[in-house]
Amino acid sequence: MSREKIDFQVIENVTREDVHKELHRYSFDKKNGPLWCARLFRESVGDSLLGYPYVFTVFIGIHHVITDGTSNMLICGFFAQVLDDMSAGRPIDDNEQFAVFVSPEKTDAIINEKVKALRDNSELLLRQTKEFQACQKKSFYKSTYKINEDMPLTTGFETVFFDSDTTASFLKRCRAEGVTVNSAYTAITNHAMMDLMDGGLEKDTYHIHSDHVFNARRYWGEASDGEYLRCHVMPLVPVTVETPRNARENIWNYVRQTNQELRKISTDTALPEEAIKKLIPEYSGVFEFDYTVSDMGDVTHLVMKGSRNAEPIYICRPAAIHKVPATFCHFVHTS
């Protein structure tokens, strides 16, 4: 941009839902910028909440092309760190850089290595192409519910919080069962998809298609989550799990089956798909899925930067999905 433009507003007499709806409909100027905006309002419960005399909610809307979940959490942590310094009367150095904005070259270099490996092995290329194409099956949800094309599309937003005791109990049970939290959440969500049918199920089993987000930073061979900003997510990785109608009767047995399916996804799964796209132009790699899961795990180390005077106490990360081919997106994290 030739000059810095900032869309920041202090607002009042609104609810969180009102602001979420506004930002979900926000239209970014992708040519001239900015690709972010912010809204601020003071919460009325500040006098009694955790001993803090002032509590504010900050909404930061950012275009996905320049950020991802990891970057968003880091930005929240950096923002809290600056507020903490200001509250304590410490000087703010405008030249200080909290992180590095990294272009896609790091990931592209790794993908190009996979392209070369596939180009040199036609049998491997053919096998992996067939495996990915086999995932392109009809969505269970979309095949049941028909979308009215004439209705304006919007993004709904629902937040569910579990207290620390419930969260700890769930994590403990996952460890005892030998499954990942992501597997347990996926299994429960699959069964919830069945419940959406509201008694309209006819077959004994159904195939639920979910897509899972991979952080490209994991391929860089270094501990870099706390340093590199930008959108560094790999293509969504599809997983299909055969779900019986009576899964609720032995839910943890079904969780273990789901865990086995998810374990088939290696950290190398997303890279060959990107390589295949470069070698086979007609391969789109776009799958019809029932929902997406972005599970970041414990984000405490990303958002807590040793703050004492300003501390994040409530963080959520929704996304506007009504302009992309997705029905449900689940954003999961603990703290």
Count of all residues that appear for the chain in the document: 335
With H, G, I as helix, E, B as strand and everything else as coil, classify residue 210: strand
* Domains, the chain: 8-100 (no CATH), 103-217+232-302+317-334 (3.30.559)
The first and second tokens of residue 269, run together, are 């799964």
* Helix, strand, coil content of the chain in percent (nearest 5): 35, 15, 50
For residue 140, the model assigns a pLDDT of 72
Backbone phi, then psi, for 35, in 5-degree steps? Answer: -100, 25
Q: Which residue has the tokens 């992708």?
A: 30
Q: How far apart are CA 192 and CA 186, in angstroms?
A: 10
The closest of 334, 299, 309 to 68, measured between CA atoms, is 299
| Cis amide prior to 34 (ω within 30 degrees) | yes
pLDDT per residue as tens digits for the range 258-275: 999 888 775 556 666 677
pLDDT per residue as tens digits for the range 142-198: 777 776 767 788 888 888 888 889 999 999 999 999 999 999 999 999 988 888 776
The closest of 295, 296, 277 to 285, measured between CA atoms, is 277
Distances (CA, A) of 47 to 11, 51, 56, 192: 19, 7, 11, 39
For residue 165, the model assigns a pLDDT of 93
Q: How far apart are CA 220 and CA 58, in angstroms?
A: 32
pLDDT per residue as tens digits for the range 319-328: 888 877 778 8
For residue 285, the model assigns a pLDDT of 54
Q: Which residue has the tokens 């905006």?
A: 37
Q: How far apart are CA 62 and CA 65, in angstroms?
A: 8
For residue 13, the model assigns a pLDDT of 87
Residue 191, classified by CB atoms within 10 Å of its CB into exposed (0-12), middle (13-18) or buried (19+), is buried
- Backbone conformation region of residue 240, classed left if phi is above 0, alpha if psi is from -120 to 50, else beta: beta
For residue 171, the model assigns a pLDDT of 93
Backbone phi, then psi, for 126, in 5-degree steps? Answer: -65, -45
With H, G, I as helix, E, B as strand and everything else as coil, classify residue 212: strand
> pLDDT digit of tens for each residue in the chain (335 aa)?
566 788 999 998 888 888 988 998 899 998 888 999 999 988 776 445 566 778 888 999 999 989 999 899 989 888 888 888 888 888 988 888 888 888 888 788 888 888 888 788 888 778 777 766 666 666 777 777 776 767 788 888 888 888 889 999 999 999 999 999 999 999 999 988 888 776 666 778 888 888 888 888 877 776 555 678 888 887 777 788 888 888 888 899 999 999 998 887 755 566 666 777 777 766 555 556 788 899 888 888 888 876 677 778 888 888 888 877 778 899 998 76
Angle between the N-to-C axes of helices 270-279 and 122-133, in degrees from 0 to 180, rounded to the nearest 10: 110
Q: Which residue has the tokens 């009809």?
A: 138
